[in-house]
């Protein structure tokens, strides 16, 4: 029975675009989806989750942030982001991508790493060739597209 579960978990990871190496799981997400996954199922250390990019727009409709969200598979959309170090995070977090960080000439934060204590994991985020444009407001940028690679591995802490 355990072998069967392990094979099914591995199959789910492979189908969802992830690969497994020594306890790691890797996934790719895109914004906008363009036929690619904007939400992928994640099986990590025997638990099922869903990983998603959630866009947030300003009053002009500019997609100013993309938030990488990890939730338990059966959680609703209002459930806590498991990448958050606490239930009450304020300000800039490594799992929030801000369009102005990727404005032409800036390209800051392409690689990020964070510790997710709720799943005891290290999460590495790599932003591939983000494309942003000047938004409707002054000094406002909007995401046009971006590919995000995420690797989740057991924490060494």
pLDDT tens across 83-96, in order? 987 766 667 789 99
Give the C-alpha separation, 102 to 2, whole Å: 45
- The 10 Å CB-count burial string (b at 16+, else e) for 5-20 is eeeebeeebeebebee
Residue 136 vs residue 72, higher pLDDT? 72
Show the domain range for 24.
2-154
Q: Kindly list the distances between the CA atom of residue 150 and the CA atoms of 75, 79, 81, in Å, as whole numbers in the listed order.
A: 20, 20, 15
Does 104 have pLDDT greater than 50?
Answer: yes
Whole-prediction pTM value? 0.79
- Total domains in the chain come to 1
CATH of the domain at 32: 2.60.98
pLDDT tens across 4-55, in order? 333 334 333 444 444 444 578 899 988 886 655 578 999 998 999 999 999 9
Residue 145 vs residue 11, higher pLDDT? 145
Does 1 have pLDDT greater than 90?
Answer: no
């Amino acid at each position: 029975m355990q072998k069967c579960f392990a094979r099914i978990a591995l199959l789910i990871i492979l189908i969802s675009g992830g690969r497994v190496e020594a306890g790691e799981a890797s996934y790719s997400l895109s914004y906008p989806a363009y036929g690619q996954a904007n939400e992928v199922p994640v099986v990590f250390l025997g638990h099922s989750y869903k990983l998603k990019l959630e866009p947030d727009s300003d009053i002009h409709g500019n997609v100013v942030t993309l938030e990488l969200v990890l939730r338990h598979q059966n959680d609703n959309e209002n459930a806590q982001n498991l990448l958050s170090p606490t239930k009450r995070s304020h300000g800039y977090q490594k799992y929030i991508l801000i369009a102005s960080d990727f404005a032409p000439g800036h390209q800051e934060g392409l690689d990020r790493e964070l510790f997710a204590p709720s799943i005891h994991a290290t999460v590495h985020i790599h932003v591939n060739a983000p494309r942003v444009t000047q938004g409707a407001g002054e000094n406002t940028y909007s995401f046009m597209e971006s590919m995000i690679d995420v690797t989740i591995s057991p924490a060494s802490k």
